[in-house]
Amino acid sequence: MIMKTRRVSFTLSLLALGICSGTALAQDDGRNIARDREPIPLTQPGSWISQQDYPADIRRAGVEGATEIELEVGVDGVPLACDVIGSSGNTRLDDRACLRLMQNARFKPARDSRGGAIVSIYPTNVVWALSETPPPSEMHVEFTIVIDEKGQVSDCETVTLEGPAADEKEPFCPDHLNFQPIVDEDGNPVARRIRTTMKVEYEDL
């Protein structure tokens, strides 16, 4: 059985590394698998590859492209193989993308319906782009999440949303994100609401 979840893509420019979303696959060897099970990155995908990985001579030549990759993730969360299923048009960029993701990507492995770790496929795109990143826009975002006794996000509410993301619906709510359970002073798991505020302001010098 194959389960569809998310894809992650990277945009690598001369000045910044951005992240978009997409679809992933988990393979269950014929067994049933819960729909909320998937390989989950243990670190920010944007940290797997850096600006320094864009070869200088290729940048100077103005070469851009997108490398479409499938990572085979083992039961220990470490990539077993990297397959380029869509080339950027430059083999050095494709090879560099695979090399860095094999070295740096680590996951919480996908699990079957009985809780056993399974081999999974994690698709991702690395977009090699030369365009400069514009300065951040002024924004004010405040949202709350409720983490239940099991460490799962049970509720998310956007309190304040001002700026470029104002037209999006719940853009900051985490998807398929689990935490270590919060415990009280006696060590008992408890539910808690967490409030997060982010603000970008310009100031005169």
In a domain? residue 66: yes
Cα separation, 175 vs 191, whole angstroms: 18
Q: Are 146 and 93 in the same domain?
A: no
Could you tell me the pLDDT band of residue 89, with boundaries at 50, 70 and 90? very high
Q: Report the alpha-carbon distance of residue 127 to residue 68 in Å, rounded.
A: 8
* CA–CA distance, 117 with 36 (Å, rounded to integer): 14
The residue out of 83, 101, 128 marking a domain boundary is: 128
Answer whether residue 133 is part of any domain: no
Is the pLDDT assigned to residue 17 strictly greater than 50?
no
Contact 45, 77 (CB under 8 A): no
User: Domain check: are 58 and 146 in the same one?
Assistant: no
Same domain, 86 and 111: yes
Same-domain pairing of 87 and 12? yes
Choose one of 81, 107, 128: the last residue of a domain: 128
85, 184: one domain: no
Lowest mean per-residue pLDDT among 8-12, 68-72, 93-97, 134-138? 8-12
pLDDT above 70 for 14? no
Is residue 113 located within the same domain as residue 168?
no
pLDDT per position as a tens digit, 102-154: 999 999 999 888 889 999 999 999 999 887 667 788 888 888 989 899 888 88
Structural domain ending residue among the three candidates 128, 159, 186: 128
pLDDT at 133: 65
171 and 91 belong to one structural domain: no
Query: Does the pLDDT at position 15 exceed 70?
Result: no
Q: How many domains does the chain have?
A: 2
Return all residues near 200 (Cβ < 8 A) that are at least 6 apart. 136, 137, 138, 139, 140, 163
Q: Write out the H or E segment, with its range, that includes residue 25.
A: strand 25-27
Does 205 map to a domain?
A: no
Split at pLDDT 50, 70, 90, the class of 96 is: very high
Instruction: Say if residue 29 is in the same domain as residue 56.
Output: yes
In the chain, which residue ranges form alpha helices assigned H by DSSP? 56-60, 91-104
Looking at the fold, whether 14 and 77 belong to one and the same domain comes out as: yes
pTM across the whole model: 0.53
In a domain, 27, yes or no: yes
Q: Choose among 28, 26, 109: nearest CA to 70.
A: 26
| Least confident segment among 25-34, 133-142, 175-184 | 25-34
Residue 172: predicted pLDDT: 64
Residue 176 phi, psi dihedral angles, 5° rounding: 55, 45
Q: Is residue 67 part of a domain?
A: yes
Q: Identify whether 189 is part of a domain.
A: yes
Residues 55, 155 within the same domain: no
Which domain range does residue 186 map to?
A: 139-200
Report the C-alpha gap between 205 and 201 in whole angstroms.
13
Together in a domain, 28 and 68: yes
Pair (122, 180) in one structural domain: no
Torsion of CA 162, 163, 166, 167, to 10 degrees: 160
Strands (E), 28-152: 40-41, 65-73, 79-86, 107-108, 120-128, 139-147
Task: Say which CATH number the domain at 62 has.
Answer: 3.30.2420.10
- How would you label 66-82 residue by residue, b for 16+ Cβ within 10 Å and e otherwise? bbbbbbebbeebebeeb
Higher pLDDT, 10 or 76: 76
Q: How much is the mean pLDDT over the chain?
A: 79
